[in-house]
Chains A and B, each alone.
Chain A
Amino acid sequence: MAFITLTGISKSFAGVRALQNVDMVINKGEIRCLAGENGGGKSTLIKVISGFYTPDEGQIEINGKLYKKLTPQQAIKEGIQIIYQDFSVFPNLTVAENIALNHERLLGKWLVNWKSIRENAQRALDMIGVQMDLDALVGSLSVADKQLVAICRALLQDAKLLVMDEPTTALTRKEVDALFAVTRDLQAKGISILFVSHKLEEVFEIAEELTILRNGAKVIEGPMKEFDRAKFIYHMTGRTIEPTQFESPVTSGEPLMKVENIGITDLFDDISFELYAGEVMAITGLLGSGRSELARALFGLDKLTSGRIFIEGKQITLGNVKDAIESGIAYVPEDRLTEGLFLPHSIDNNVISATIDGVLNKQRMLSAKKTKTLSSSWIEELKIVTPSGNMPAQTLSGGNQQRVVLAKWLSSHPKILILNGPTVGVDIGSKTDIHSYTRELAKKGMGVIIISDDIPEVLENCNRVLLMKKGQIIEKMSCEGLTEEALSRKLTDVVEEVAR
């Protein structure tokens, strides 16, 4: 039975069509996945469902009731709840308040009843069977717990349709499993779920029905079992993408980078490896395994307390990021918005930011000409879609932003490129481009380290993989012949060991 039926929804902004004649039905107790690349119209559609946008054409029917103009209040009343990518929680308020305050407020109360807030919050936590300190400030929680708080908040509003917008972006595999368990549990209670994602593996794992949007139009829909990987990707991107394997380079002679027993008190310990020119090496592990901490240290963000690092046989000391850059190391960080980009600044300024010395003229002044030349060459090389390098970086899509970060680091001509989660939140098209570009760089003699828990990404792009656990490297493997299942199991084994 249909919970919500969208018919012929169209919406334009400033003359640009964001949605064109989209139909979609979500049945009661169904898990439907809404997939599509960034800019495909997913977020516009969510805003139409939640009443924040009024469509130019088309109608919405919820529970048999027809809405020409759905308001956010009506949507909430009908039980439509959105869990945003950033969860929209209040870091300065307690768990109890975050979960239950809105419920009280929407009942029309203007006084706060602390007792009922605590009771309701506890009730919501019990619904999904989770234990949490009601008085803890949400700002101090882990990402996964914040998400649970957001889910509890939605449940208290008597949610009948839960829209989860890219819910797994910041979660580790273990946390994703927990989220899926909760999701199925909610489904069993008759709640419909609209799971918005572009992560292929997860979509296959959780969804029953699939709707794919491309350029604002629905391109296909149907039960999940009618799809396979290739078909999914084809409809998402509009092109066929062949899975590829990175060929191992010859690794002999002097390593490009040699790391000997490095460690930081409390974080990681006794890490040793060698990286040869032309290699793409993966460091994988769960969140909290020390993989990001190791990456930070290799880039001089945190100081080592033990061990030595050699580059081309010469020992280096990393006191700060500048030292790392001068030693030929570049680092594309995990979170490009807060760590990688100066969003309000122009693309040009972002591209030159790590290599300002390179665009100075003889008087050591900034040269507008050199800046433009350098930036334009990267915009062209990396196919960054923008009308001009003068545009602020914030006007770009996620994939193009990541290309700007890449350009910024490649213009420093690094010998070693460390990529931390290089394709998180990046659409499949850009992801493929970034991958093939990375392999290209390795072929030209760069040493690349990819830090990722995206298993297909690791296997397709790397020749070696180091597995981290509890701050130590527990296994070094060649990617040749390593299957997804095998690597996945190794990661899972780690999970079980941690749990034990």
Chain B
Amino acid sequence: MKTALTKAVRSNEFYVALAVVILCLIIGMRNPAFFTIHTAFNLTRAAVVPGIMVFAVMLGIIAGGIDVSFPAIAVSSMFLTSRFFESIEFTGPVILPILMSIAIGTALGLFNGVIIAFFKLPAFIVTLGTAHLFHGVFVWLIGARPVHRLPPPMEDMSRAELIRITGEVHVSSVPVTVLFLLGIIAVVYFILNYTMLGRGIYAIGGDRVSAERAGFSVKGITIFVYAFIGFASGLAGILHTIHSRLSIPTDLIGSELLIIAAAVLGGTHIGGGRGTVLGSILGLALITIARNNLVMMGVPSTAQTLVVGVIIVIGTGISAYQAMKKANKLPRILEKTADAGGGTVAKG
């Protein structure tokens, strides 16, 4: 009998959670300053932009495709948006630039989706191409001059805080942008678990041909997935600009593999069909902590890339090794001999 508890312990999320806890404990033991509200708030802030991208890219991986164009989409949408609003000396509501960035992102994602769905091409390669295409064409057309002074409404938003605690040493705050991260998490969770669309995403990731036969609109679902990635990237891009109060056309580019790593460390199956929101939250936590807090335990900043690499290899290695062993193991045929205890045989 499998109880809920043993099921939970066997789940992949359990091990990722364990890794996060152990990492926190180690850092905390070396430097008690880790266990403070200040650290927690800073981590939250650092997780907003990559977090939004992690959940988007997770959706793609579950559907069976790896999108690597999301940083390019994010940066293109935000750069185009901030240059536009800078040029019109915008002072209206901040939601307009956010919506514009999202709209551009969605359009670019749609483009990806259409190519991937109609030509049945591998998403990884297509988006590798479109990443260059998008980033190149936009920055070429409008010029690479960064925006150093964002329009006032965006500046204001960068200072907007959801929670603020004034301590003895620091002022700690959670930016209002975290609401967008929570929103994306909620939307992705709802789509994946409670809509036919979400089950369709799992279905095409599990077996594309079967999904087609069952009458799922494979093309429609695929297009939705990449459009959603574009949507979330547009959002992540503009929030990135708001956080950094700058709009630089080379930002975010190069972060794609780390974001994918976060999703995969959280148990999203690189071959498609499997992945959970909870797992990705944990994967995101693992990567964010490793990137931001290793200094606190005395790891030199020059060793951070190395540590992240080791975490990826060990993290994916353990589950890959178990899966390989399991796949290679043939089911038992011989009955156990009497002295091994006949009573346990029935269970298999």
Contact = CB atoms under 8 A, between A and B. Distances in A.
Interface of A: 72-73, 76, 82, 84, 86, 88-93, 97, 101-102, 104-106, 109-112, 265-269, 288-290, 293, 302, 470-472
B194 interface: yes
Contacts of B102: none
B222 to A, nearest CB: 16
Given A76-B215, A111-B196, A112-B195, A93 B334 contact: no
Interface string B325-338: 00000111111000
A268 B199 CA distance: 42
B202 A470 contact: no
A289 B333 contact: yes
A290 B333 CA distance: 7
Contact of B333 (A86, A102, A288): A288
A91 B193 contact: no
A104 B87 CA distance: 51
Contacts of A110: 195-197
B213 A93 contact: no
B196 A266 contact: no
20 contacts: A73-B215, A76-B215, A84-B213, A88-B207, A88-B214, A91-B207, A92-B274, A93-B203, A93-B206, A102-B214, A102-B215, A105-B196, A110-B195, A111-B196, A267-B330, A268-B333, A288-B331, A290-B333, A290-B334, A302-B330
B193 A88 contact: no
Contact of B332 (A86, A88, A104, A266): A266
Contacts of B206: 90-93
Contacts of A109: 196
Interface in B198-242: 198-199, 202-203, 205-207, 209-211, 213-216
Nearest to A82: B213
Given A73-B215, A93-B203, A471-B333, 14 more contacts: A76-B215, A84-B213, A88-B209, A90-B210, A92-B269, A93-B206, A104-B196, A110-B197, A265-B334, A266-B330, A266-B333, A267-B332, A268-B333, A470-B335
Given A84-B213, A88-B207, A90-B203, A269 B195 contact: no
A159 to B, nearest CB: 14
Contacts of B216: 105
A92 B211 CA distance: 12
A105 B196 CA distance: 7
B196 A267 contact: no
Contact of B199 (A73, A86, A112): A112
Contact of B210 (A88, A269, A471): A88
Contacts of B105: none
B202 A267 contact: no
A218 to B, nearest CB: 26
A293 B196 contact: no
B333 A267 contact: yes
A97 B211 CA distance: 13
A234 B25 CA distance: 76
B171 to A, nearest CB: 44
B109 interface: no
A164 to B, nearest CB: 15
Contacts of B113: none
Nearest to B326: A140
A267 B336 CA distance: 11
- How would you classify the secondary structure of chain A's contact residues: helix, strand, loop or mixed? loop
10 A-B pairs closest in CB distance:
A92-B273, A92-B206, A88-B210, A90-B206, A471-B333, A471-B334, A266-B332, A290-B333, A88-B213, A110-B196
A89 B210 contact: yes
B338 to A, nearest CB: 14
A127 to B, nearest CB: 20
B217 to A, nearest CB: 10
Contacts of A472: 334
Given A91-B206, A91-B207, A111 B332 contact: no
A109 B197 CA distance: 10
B199 A101 contact: yes
B334 A269 contact: yes
Interface string B260-276: 00000000010001100
A314 B100 CA distance: 78
A71 to B, nearest CB: 11
Most chain A CB neighbours (cut-off 10 Å) among B193, B194, B269, B334: B334
A88 B203 CA distance: 11
Most chain A CB neighbours (cut-off 10 Å) among B195, B196, B273: B196
A111 B273 contact: no
Contacts of A267: 330, 332-334
A76 B214 CA distance: 10
B194 A266 contact: no
Contacts of A288: 331, 333
A92 B205 contact: yes
A385 B212 CA distance: 32
Contacts of B334: 265-269, 290, 470-472
A288 B335 CA distance: 12
Nearest to A105: B196
A101 B202 CA distance: 12
A93 to B, nearest CB: 6
B333 A112 contact: no
A472 B333 CA distance: 10
B68 to A, nearest CB: 23
